[in-house]
Amino acid sequence: MRGLAARRDGKTDLFTQIGHFLADHGLSPEPAHYSFAYDVIADPQGAIAEAVRRLTDGGVRLSRSDIEALGGTVHAGTGTVDPADRHAPDNGLREDDTAILVAKTQAQVDGFATMMREMQDETRGFGRDLAQSAAAIRHNTPAVPAAAGLDEIARITGAMLTRIREAEMRLAKATDEAEALRAKLAEANDTARRDSLTGLPNRRAFDEAFALRNESNGPFCLAICDIDRFKRINDAHGHAVGDRVLSAVARTLSDECDGQLVVRHGGEEFAVLLHGVALADAAANLDCVRDTIAAKRFRLRESDRPLGQVTVSVGVTAVHPGETLADAFERADRLLYTAKAEGRDRVCAA
């Protein structure tokens, strides 16, 4: 982040860096936000600045909970992201698209309801008229001769058949529209659970899969994989190259962990939920993934120059029966940071 660069002397430069810091993290220039930014910028070697550097490694913003955990205050209406979505990538489905699909679904349901009410009303009306005509024929009153009653029944029956055909056409059209809408909803549902860049399932799909884990027997392990020094790749070569590295790592993880759930959890971070695998086997599997990625020779597409070695660090842990995702993820995350602290390009398991 620009605000954490080594500052030059002078108040004007300090104020400029604070302004950059606020902009980087979507914070409005309110006193509470300014005070937090000042604490970070004014003491770049301090504990708060160090924590901010660790949390923003990879170019991500601080979340509200990050700032509050560091003693800061966040006012409503600022652009800080929710902690659950701090690293969440764009899944390709805009809120406007979702709102439109919901509105169309509601309109379709309302249309079916209206159609059924109209058909019920018409059926009751036809039934009433037929009953009256049949009663008149049975009594054969002078006012309503039998022949006239039969003509009336024929007229009512003809009208009813016409209305039935019209209703069938309307129902067929509505059914076709409903099928098309259902397909769009299924596509939107899949899109909402898939990362648009890598094609992997996303965090939402991971959370849902973890919640269902108790329906299956056997051990579970949770791994968090993070590309080492990914920010350097983006800074040196641009985000387009960084995106290609992300996609390549995603493919390797998916291939090497075939049959297991691999997701892009956010940013340069991936998560793997391994079902039916003991911790030792899970760690060995992830170490093979790590070794495969480290052995790749990435080259720049535009110039064919070597990009340099790309490595990943991994934290993997066994998920205990009944354990919450938050607890298991926190433990795996601590192991990931241990792997980073011990030199990166390694797997830590516990």
pLDDT of the residue at 30: 74
> Rounded to the nearest 5°, which phi and psi values hold at 339?
-60, -40
Domain ranges of the chain: 2-85, 95-191, 203-349
**Confidence class for position 338, pLDDT limits 50, 70, 90:** very high
| CB atoms inside a 10 Å sphere around CB 321 | 8
pLDDT of the residue at 269: 96
Highest mean predicted confidence (pLDDT) among 5-14, 32-41, 179-188 = 32-41
pLDDT of the residue at 147: 60
0.85 exceeded by the pTM? no
Q: Which residues are known to be catalytic?
A: 268
| Residues 62 and 73 sit within 8 Å (Cβ to Cβ) | no
pLDDT of the residue at 128: 67
Nearest to 185 by CA among 85, 93, 66: 93
Task: Pick the range with the lowest mean pLDDT from 70-84, 120-134, 330-344.
Answer: 70-84
What is the average pLDDT across 25-51? Answer: 81
> Rounded to the nearest 5°, which phi and psi values hold at 114?
-65, -45
Residue 95 pLDDT more than 60?
no
What is the average pLDDT across 286-309? Answer: 90
Task: Pick the range with the lowest mean pLDDT from 135-144, 167-176, 205-214.
Answer: 135-144
Q: Which two tokens stand for residue 168?
A: 């069938």
Q: Which two tokens stand for residue 154?
A: 């024929």
**Confidence class for position 62, pLDDT limits 50, 70, 90:** confident
Compare 79 and 182 and report the one with higher pLDDT: 182
**Confidence class for position 304, pLDDT limits 50, 70, 90:** confident
What pLDDT digit, counting tens, does each position of 273-285 carry?
999 999 999 999 9
| Residues 283 and 347 sit within 8 Å (Cβ to Cβ) | yes
CATH topology of domain 203-349: Alpha-Beta Plaits (3.30.70)
Quote the CA–CA distance of 176 and 181 in Å, as a whole number: 9
pLDDT of the residue at 86: 42
Quote the CA–CA distance of 5 and 43 in Å, as a whole number: 11
**Confidence class for position 196, pLDDT limits 50, 70, 90:** confident
Q: Looking up tokens 């939402």, which residue turns up?
A: 204
Quote the CA–CA distance of 273 and 263 in Å, as a whole number: 9
Task: Pick the range with the lowest mean pLDDT from 70-74, 226-230, 319-323.
Answer: 70-74
pLDDT of the residue at 18: 82
**Confidence class for position 10, pLDDT limits 50, 70, 90:** very low
Mean pLDDT of the chain: 78
> Rounded to the nearest 5°, which phi and psi values hold at 226?
-130, 130
